[in-house]
Chain A
Amino acid sequence: MSPEIIRLVWLATLDTLSMVAVAALIGTAIGLPLGVFLATSRKGELFAAPAVNGVLGLVVNATRSTPFIILVVAIIPFTRLIAGSSIGTAAAIVPLTVAATPFIARIVEGAIREVDQGLVEAARAMGASPLQIVRKVLIPEALPGVVLGLTLAVVSLIGYSAMVGAVGGGGLGDLGIRYGYQRFMPEVMATVVVVLIVLVQAVQSLGDILARRLNKRLRQS
């Protein structure tokens, strides 16, 4: 493999990493509170607002049930509005974020709902306000589950980021399509696949380690 190709793979890897990182960060920033709200706005919960909950749930489901490649195309006007263009690495971040946010929200919602209701009751008995219950009980107790879920989200994002390559998004997917497929360079395609496998493996291991550190439930003396 020529040094030129290696340089291309390196740059594409950086592109992929930056797209995934930014999308995951923004997705978490919006998805975390959204997930907390989805979990706590159901009937009889801390911030009960069943109607709002229903509408938000619908929006989240609609986004999640749209195949990613269609989502990318469907929101092109929105992408242009935000990124100024619909082509390139920066533009690819927009659909990635739009896909990641509801995914993360559902993961957070699930982890929060797993928290023992007895803990919420105990906190209420201590005189905690709903916000204190979220900050001091729900989020810390759900954290190991949230971290594992975020790991899953990042892995999915790495896959999605390869897909945005197909519509001019840049990154490893783009490299694989243009060089590996269209220019018949199987060694580039193979390299791209290997790099993706390594990335996914690294993210998963990191997430597992972090979640295990945070989880104090399984420790035995």
Chain B
Amino acid sequence: MNAPVRVALGDPLINPTATREALIRFENVSKRFAARRGQAEVRALEGIDLAIPKGAIVGVIGRSGAGKSTLIRLVNGLERPSGGAVVVDGVDVAALSEKGLRGVRGAIGMIFQHFNLLSSRTVFDNVGLPLEIAGASRDDIRRAVEPLLELVGLSEKRDRYPAELSGGQKQRVGIARALATNPKVLLCDEATSALDPETTSSILQLLKRVNAELGVTILLITHEMPVIKEICDRVAVLEGGRVVEEGDVFDVLTRPRHPTTASFLSSVTGIDLPADVTAALRPEAVAGGQAVVRVTFTGENATTPVISRLTTTLGIDFNILAGRIERIAGRPFGSLVVSLPGEEPGLSAALAALSQLGLGAEVLGHVA
């Protein structure tokens, strides 16, 4: 597999995607669903401003009901905004007629949580369907479909029916089908939510490859932070129909500013404390006790021997309770839970020293 061509990722201050030209732009987009008997009007989206850079993989994360399904469907006109513009490759799709939309949709592929393959068609005929709809000849269809089946690794399943495939294979067919018309954009609607973790990972790797090798811009929606962490360049956090946080994946994941983001992150960058520590944790300081502090390392910090430096300069003894180092968007990110003497002013001095070293420090609680 070819490595994705990316700007050097060493310096966390340089944002490689933000400066790129936007392929999709949401401009003050809102979407309301009309009131129904006994129900008030639903405001699905409000004041959405979002740019999807060309060639990027952008993730939108949110809980169910946050509006992410509506958001992604605005891009290919399956949903129409109540206000604002959705500009895809220079065209405001919100202003197009249903007929005009059909022309644009060839440039926008889409894959779905439940795959949405036709059970009556073989793998080959499913992948060829968008071309058939576009009026391509049989020969053209064959010429386009065969390499796509190869790309997704399903050449030998070409004459099988979807019912004979596993979930991961079905999604591979979905991806091949979405790519059949050679689109610029691939929309992924919870594409891995129905798959087990291993299959999810292989599908994400395939998407990454599609992005890198074919230059297809990917917009995906998910409720799973690991998906964002594994393949996205940028992330937007959606809650209650609004974007509450948006930015470079590494920045957002390592320094979340919104509580919703933080709650999504607990499963990804959090650490499981030993059960006895969690049980003993108290919010108030305990006389003569210890403070439990979560220290986070980002970028190059993740590899500096900070703890030993702290011990030597401040003379504080840290007790390491738990920790892990992982890679987010290709950059190392570490978090460590330590306990140290919880009495002031020693604790404040230690926290100040930590932040001076460029580390995140968060007091989780106190133990006796």
Contacts and interface: CB of A to CB of B under 8 A. Distances in A.
Interface in B86-106: 101-106
Contact of A122 (B101, B108, B116, B161): B116
A219 B122 CA distance: 12
B45 to A, nearest CB: 19
Decide if the interface of chain A is mainly helix, strand, loop or mixed.
Answer: helix
Interface stretch (A62-70, A75-83, A128-136, A160-168): A128-136
A116 B116 contact: yes
A112 to B, nearest CB: 13
A214 B120 CA distance: 8
Given A216-B161, A216-B163, A127 B118 contact: no
A123 B133 contact: yes
A82 to B, nearest CB: 37
Counting contact residues on chain B (CB < 8 A from A), the size range is: 20 to 34
B25 to A, nearest CB: 20
B134 interface: yes
B134 A127 contact: yes
B108 A125 contact: yes
A140 B121 CA distance: 9
B118 A140 contact: yes
B258 interface: no
A127 B103 contact: yes
A221 to B, nearest CB: 4
Contacts of B133: 123, 126-128, 132, 136
A124 B78 contact: yes
Contacts of B78: 121, 124-125
Nearest to B187: A125
Nearest to A126: B130
Kindly state the interface size class of chain A when it binds its partner. 20 to 34
A118 B116 contact: yes
A125 B118 contact: no
Contacts, number: 71
A2 interface: no
Interface in A80-128: 116, 118-119, 121-128
Given A127-B103, A127-B105, A217 B163 contact: yes
B76 interface: yes
A127 B121 contact: no
Contacts of B104: 127
B76 A125 contact: yes
With most chain A CB atoms within 10 A of its CB, the pick from B102, B106, B162 is B102
Nearest to B122: A216
Nearest to B134: A127
Contact of B120 (A127, A128, A141): A141
A140 B120 CA distance: 6
Contacts of A219: 161, 163-164
Given A125-B78, A127-B134, A136-B133, A141 B181 contact: no
Contacts of A122: 110, 112, 116
A218 B119 CA distance: 9
9 contacts: A116-B116, A122-B110, A126-B105, A126-B129, A127-B103, A127-B104, A127-B134, A214-B120, A216-B163
Interface of B: 76, 78, 101-106, 108, 110, 112, 114, 116, 118-121, 129-130, 132-134, 160-165, 181, 187
5 shortest interchain CB distances as A-B pairs = A127-B105, A122-B116, A216-B161, A221-B164, A126-B130
Interface of A: 116, 118-119, 121-129, 132, 136-137, 140-141, 143, 214, 216-221
